[in-house]
Structure 1
């Protein structure tokens, strides 16, 4: 099953990759559990899009509702939720001040959730 890991972190202007994340990426790329992942640009570069009454509304970031941002994501493949949680617990984004949210994918082939 696939899971989306959202790396939630404080919004800081210069958040470069460190050795811990490089190691985590290499390990999970090598074992096949990491399918895809990327860092995301800071909140000032984010745009929100909403359509209301036929009009498209675009709002620039940063957004004052939160002091945290989605700093990156990883798409992983794991046999079950427990395995996905174990992989997320190893992610350096879960350490210190960050959080990793684990989102199971909902099948789009007409089958309901598991």
Structure 2
């Protein structure tokens, strides 16, 4: 099963503990074993753009957009047999120590099953 792992930066995070793994090791272990499909860091919220369509018009809004203190700093797409394994992978990420991680299972559209309808 695939999981989207959102890597969250939390500005009020506690001081970095001494036992935080380095990102290079996490990337090498996770991507090297095939448990991650793709990922990247993201530009800051100030570089974000919102897109909406209202009354037939495209409305583009400059970021940031949310009132939350946490911001999405990056993402990874994980390939794991179950949620327990996805949690284990996420818990080894350095931002689990100094920020936060959110795991979201993919919800496939199953477009192929509609082809015969």
Q: Could you say which TM-score interval applies, normalised by the shorter chain?
A: 0.7 to 0.9
Which consecutive unaligned segments of at least 5 residues does structure 1 have? 12-18
Which consecutive unaligned segments of at least 5 residues does structure 2 have? 12-20
**1:72-111 CA distance string (max 9 Å, x none):** 0000100011111111111111112x11100000122157
Tell me, in whole angstroms, the C-alpha distance in 1 between the residues paired with 2:51 and 2:22. 34
- Partner of 1:6 in structure 2? 6
Matches within 5 A, 1:11-50: 20-50=22-52
Radius of gyration: which is bigger?
2
2:10/2:100 contact within 8 Å kept: no
Aligned positions, number: 103
2:52/2:59 contact within 8 Å kept: yes
- The TM-score with structure 2 as length reference comes to 0.80
The Cα RMSD (Å) is 1.7
Distance 1:53 1:72, change over 3 A: same
- The TM-score with structure 1 as length reference comes to 0.82
Tell me, in whole angstroms, the C-alpha distance in 2 between the residues paired with 1:64 and 1:32. 33
